[in-house]
A and B are shown apart, each in its own frame.
Chain A
Amino acid sequence: MSRDYKIIEKEEIVPNVHKFVIREPRIAKKARAGQFILVMAHEKGERIPLTLSDWDPVEGTITFYVLELGISTMDLITLDKGDSLYSIAGPLGQPAKVEKFGNVILGGGCFGIGGIYSIAKAMKAAGNHVTVIMEARSYYLLYNIENLRSVSDELYITTSDGSGGIKGHVQKKLDELVIAGRKFDRAYFMGCTFMLMQCSKATLPHSIPTGVALNAIMLDGTGMCGCCRVTVGGQTKFVCVDGPELDGHLVDWDELFIRKQIYREEEAVSYQSHACRSTTGYEHEMKNNSGGDS
């Protein structure tokens, strides 16, 4: 007897990124910034982690953003307003460390542009000066700009192709700000693993304490299986219970990259075999709009 996780709102806000608003009053009541949920689109689906971007305890709704990458994210986005998801467990993970640090710098890329909103909002509410840098491949892939502006003191945009904001990535703007004499007391990044690593490398020389929302492969999300383990400062941590926020300066990035590759062949099989059966026309669409994880 699962509860009914009804889709109240669903929209493809930029190519391949879908915003979902779901009725789930219990999670809406308990969620804290930086936490995530484990979602199954249907009974035969995978349990996949997604970050809570926002929630409304009064309306009893939660909001998250889905970047279409493979079979499970595709299963989700083929659902429509009025449909229900099979399973949602959460809020999971430790809430982000939010306190009055002073000057806080946040960076978001791909799905992290959606997820970083909760962090910005909480950091702002805690009395910090909040600087947000967002990144995308191209300007038309940026979303959530107005929301992020409303909870930040400064907002910067970077694009890899230079079609908007600064040409480059989060760490480029970050370097610029630091060189211009800005001091930051705390950094937090959310996005693909490569971006998290690059941003952590950028804050290290400036000794800015850095949290990263790690996106290891997960299964149960409750510390029961150990598949999300990563090495942080020489110790094994479970991202789902010790994280997702972990110290970006201590993460063993090489190991994490390798661990994320484990199901590469199966992911391809899964996507192909689904696409062959599907009648939605997605089979010919290249998954190249949003970079994804490498």
Chain B
Amino acid sequence: MPGFEGRVKMPEQPPEIRARNFQEVPFGLTEELALKEAERCLNCKNPLCMTGCPVAVKIPEFIQLIKQEKYAAAARKIKETNALPAVCGRVCPQESQCESKCVLGIKHQPVAIGYLERFCADYERDMGLTEVPEPAQPTGKKIAVIGSGPSGLTVAGDLIKLGHEVVIYEALHKAGGVLTYGIPEFRLPKKIVEAEVENLLKQGVRLDLDSVVGRVRTVDELMKEDGFDAVFIGVGAGLPTFLNIPGENLNNVYSANEYLTRANLMKAYRFPEYATPVERGKNVVVIGGGNVAMDSVRTALRLGAVEATIVYRRAKEQLPARAEEVHHTEQEGVKFTLLTNPIRFIGDETGCVKAMECQRMELGEPDSSGRRKPIPIEGSEFVIECDLAIVSIGTGPNPVIFSDLAGVDRNKWGYIDVNEETMETSKAFVYAGGDIVTGSATVIQAMGAGRIAARAIHQKLEDNKTG
């Protein structure tokens, strides 16, 4: 009887070893394990799993192909709705998406959909079986995509297949957005992102790096002078939030964005071979409880921290990070100091942080997000020593793109307002999606938005042609 045997375990590096290197933590399923796991899927008539996936990957269909040992075909089946399966198989919060809906999960453990997704995508890539689609009949329309994160890459991939000309403008010297500068190598090897980008280029997408839109070109110039028929804005939520407490500008107090960008994009973990430095703390605290905080603290361990602590103001159940990542982080020896909030950083005589004064918190009534609100406990102040602190309490919309962008309405948090059915903004032919619309969300949500936008852009340009 399929399904009732236990779910496979992903082989991975043991915690005490992996916490000191930047190689990927899980090794991936072997073919044997993949087949075994695929056998568990019931191939449901009414696959609930698909309702949990923001892009409705054809889960039972691709798993059936795995059962037939047609792994590359399985990868292509996933790609019908998800352009980056090797990425999503690794970083999707499956436990709250597809896998949370799998029927097997009711009485047993759900099918390991993410592992299987990763398996086929890796197989296709590693065996050199990635297909470059035939170029479509050119439509003569040009679309500019701003930002090369998951939303931008999805829009580019979908529109090039429909015969449009696509140029991606990326501010940094490497493509991939957060996949490249934020998520560490040990969770998402950069070669995977590079292969995906390479594949888009082979299909004819043009990538213009070092291009900060709002500075070197504006959206208006792209449309009026450079002849673009539509623009997609996928610039992410790249503005670090700080705590605004005393001492925050001391040396060795980093934003998570800076710390991770130095480590990942600039490869500071290979300093001095790579010229960009990053401070290597021995006793590191990370303030925050999301994926970004987990990535920061685990990076700090790999850069030589002896002690590493997460300081989070709510309780463990409320940690916003993926369960799997919290688990990995704990296994690697990170300490969790919960219900605690910093109130100031304390510096030494050289201007470096040496400690953080904190306050204990207790949980009060649920707030607008439905979570119980942390309230400071009077007189509970105490000091945590540290030689490096990383502030990871969220991000906001980066202002640069808006420096010359009239007519695009934004909500009260500064994110772009869109028509959710088309992702079109208040300015005609200008679309937006991903974190710059929703605030920090997930890779697959950004890709889902990109897919909707691509379809709507295509439709509108077609209508415009005939109309």
Contacts and interface: CB of A to CB of B under 8 A. Distances in A.
Given A44-B275, A222-B238, A224-B238, 6 more contacts: A2-B209, A26-B211, A30-B215, A47-B173, A89-B172, A89-B216
Given A91-B215, A219-B262, A259-B249, A1 B277 contact: no
Contacts of A91: 215-216
Interface string B242-280: 101000111110110110011000110001111111010
Interface size class of A (residues with CB under 8 A): 35 or more
Contacts of B172: 89, 220
A229 B242 CA distance: 11
Contacts of A90: 212, 215-216
A1 B208 CA distance: 6
6 contacts: A44-B267, A87-B209, A219-B266, A220-B171, A225-B257, A241-B399
B272 A273 contact: yes
Contact of A231 (B201, B249, B251, B276): B249
Nearest to B261: A225
Given A30-B216, A89-B210, A219-B262, A267 B277 contact: yes
A273 B252 CA distance: 23
Contacts of B250: 258
A262 B388 CA distance: 12
A27 to B, nearest CB: 7
B206 interface: yes
Chain B CB count within 10 A is highest, among A224, A259, A269, A274, for: A224
Interface of B: 171-173, 201, 206-212, 215-217, 238-240, 242, 244, 248-252, 254-255, 257-258, 261-262, 266-267, 271-277, 279, 350-352, 398-400
A133 interface: no
A261 B266 contact: no
Nearest to A41: B275
Interface of A: 1-3, 26-27, 30, 40, 44-47, 71-72, 75, 86-92, 219-220, 222-227, 229-231, 236, 241, 255, 258-259, 261-263, 266-267, 269-270, 273-274
Contacts of A75: 275
Contacts of A40: 173
A180 B216 CA distance: 44
Contacts of B215: 30, 90-92
A262 B387 CA distance: 13
Contacts of A273: 272
A223 B249 contact: no
Per CB-CB distance, the 6 closest pairs between chain A and chain B, nearest first, are A258-B351, A266-B277, A225-B258, A87-B173, A224-B238, A89-B210
Contacts of B173: 2, 40, 47, 86-87, 89
A1 B148 CA distance: 13
A13 to B, nearest CB: 25
Nearest to A266: B277
Given A45-B275, A262-B279, A224 B261 contact: yes
B273 A26 contact: no
B171 A89 contact: yes
B398 A227 contact: no
B249 A1 contact: no
A220 B236 CA distance: 15
Given A45-B275, A219-B261, A224 B210 contact: no
A226 B240 contact: yes
Chain A CB count within 10 A is highest, among B206, B208, B351, for: B351
Contacts of A255: 249, 351
B171 A270 contact: no
A88 B258 contact: no
Contacts of B352: 262
Contact of B266 (A46, A229, A267): A46
Contact of A225 (B201, B252, B255): B255
A87 B277 contact: no
A223 B238 contact: yes
A88 B172 CA distance: 9
Contacts of A3: 208, 210
Chain B CB count within 10 A is highest, among A1, A87, A225, A262, for: A225
Given A92-B212, A219-B261, A266-B271, A224 B277 contact: no
Contacts of B208: 1, 3
B275 A270 contact: yes
B134 to A, nearest CB: 22
Contacts of A241: 399-400
B182 to A, nearest CB: 10
Contacts of A45: 275
Contacts of A262: 251-252, 279, 352
B215 to A, nearest CB: 6
A225 B208 CA distance: 22
Chain B CB count within 10 A is highest, among A89, A219, A236, A267, for: A89
B185 to A, nearest CB: 16
A1 B207 contact: yes
A247 to B, nearest CB: 17
Contacts of B398: 222-224
A72 B254 CA distance: 22
Contacts of B254: 227
A222 B272 contact: no
Given A2-B209, A26-B217, A219 B258 contact: yes
B351 to A, nearest CB: 3
B452 to A, nearest CB: 26
